[in-house]
Structure 1
Amino acid sequence: MIKNPLDKIKETEDKAKKSLEQAEVGAQEKVGAFQNEVEKEYLIIEKVAQERKEQATAEASKKIEVLNEEKTKEIVEKVAEVEKKSAQNMDACVDYIVGEFIKN
């Protein structure tokens, strides 16, 4: 039995429409899966970046602390040196003044 050509065209259109719908669903699933993978990769990158930031911050803080300790030690040494020289100068002044009083 030969089908009506219009029925054949309608049947072909229906098959094409169904095939197109299936292709769209498949494409949407692939896009969704790809978006999920991109999101996972983004979260991994974000986590690694956060860890590196925290590590760099900790290292920088440690270096700053070491530098502060070194500078503090240097300043304390210089203050001690200045105090020692001041004491020596004070002793010299007292000796000079006492010497002048003794002469007179």
Structure 2
Amino acid sequence: MARLFPARGWVDLGAQVSAGSDFPVGQFGAMRSVWGMTTRQTVIGVKGPEHAISNDEALALHTANAARVTGEEMLLGTLTPGRLADLTVWHRDPAQCPTSCVT
């Protein structure tokens, strides 16, 4: 479990990494994904803290990097004039949440 999705190492190596969620199909929406990548918190405690990435890096994996991986970086992924916008407003910063605010 501690080695699952070692984002820090991949980002540091310059790998083309992206992230996403299956919400509402599953229980793990983007807020939980960002929270998990930044805190490495799991239902059984913190696992693999050396693989944690910053909040900004986690958000980039879900936005600009996801668009780049799908070849849509000229259409979406950043808030840029002329590009499609898909906004999410969260009630709290996922990097600062206890488990209860990301469920």
TM-score, length basis structure 1: 0.16
Higher relative contact order (CA 8 A, sep 6+): 2
Q: TM-score scaled to structure 2, two decimals? A: 0.16
Higher-helix-fraction structure: 1
